[in-house]
Amino acid sequence: MATWKQFATAAPGLAAEGRALLYREGHGGALLATVRDGDPPRIHPISVGIVGDGLYAFILKSAKRIDLERDGRYALHAHLDPRAPNEFSVRGRARIVGEPIRSAVAAGWFFEADEGYELFEFDVEAAVLGERPTADDWPPRYTTWRAATDPGMG
């Protein structure tokens, strides 16, 4: 797994395009897929932000938060715009982040994140960018990145 900064250092063009797609509506937005035990995946719209070294989201108590707390696996897909059909997704594991990072991220967040929200950082295992000049062009041209695996791990 890698932080957003590590991903951006290893694949700067892919990360820059991904950031632009996540922020295409002026603030960070995406669809979050979570899993829990043997249940089918769930899809949730969320606000996301790239702050400092990480990719973050403040999440209220909900099914998606419970999924992330129990399992941590996620996939995140930037919202699609039919007029500009490029797409971006990342997947990996999310974890709760406490102070002082929480306060630093909250200071510039899109909305006021009170104590009811947990801050999650999304580590990046893999990223995919699909590029198409128009919605009629198919298939997309895909660029992928995967975090290096540590042979000493698991």
CA distance 73 to 59: 15
Question: Digits of tens for pLDDT over the chain (154 positions)?
Answer: 999 999 999 999 999 999 999 999 888 999 999 998 888 899 999 999 999 999 999 999 999 999 999 999 999 999 988 888 999 999 999 999 999 999 999 998 999 999 999 999 999 999 999 999 888 888 999 999 999 875 544 3
Question: Alpha helix locations (H) across 45-100?
Answer: 63-70
Q: Give me the number of domains the chain comprises.
A: 1
CB-count exposure of residue 35 (10 Å: 0-12, 13-18, 19+): middle
Residue 151: inside a domain, yes or no?
Answer: no
Query: What is the rounded CA–CA span in Å between residue 72 and residue 120?
Result: 10
Is the whole model's pTM more than 0.75, yes or no? yes
| Domain housing 52 | 4-146
Q: What angle do CA 46, 49, 110 make, to 5 degrees?
A: 75
Alpha helical stretches, state H, the chain: 4-10, 12-22, 63-70, 101-107
Q: What is the CATH number of the domain that holds 120?
A: 2.30.110.10
Q: Do residues 36 and 70 lie in contact, with contact meaning Cβ atoms separated by under 8 Å?
A: yes
Residue 42 in domain: yes
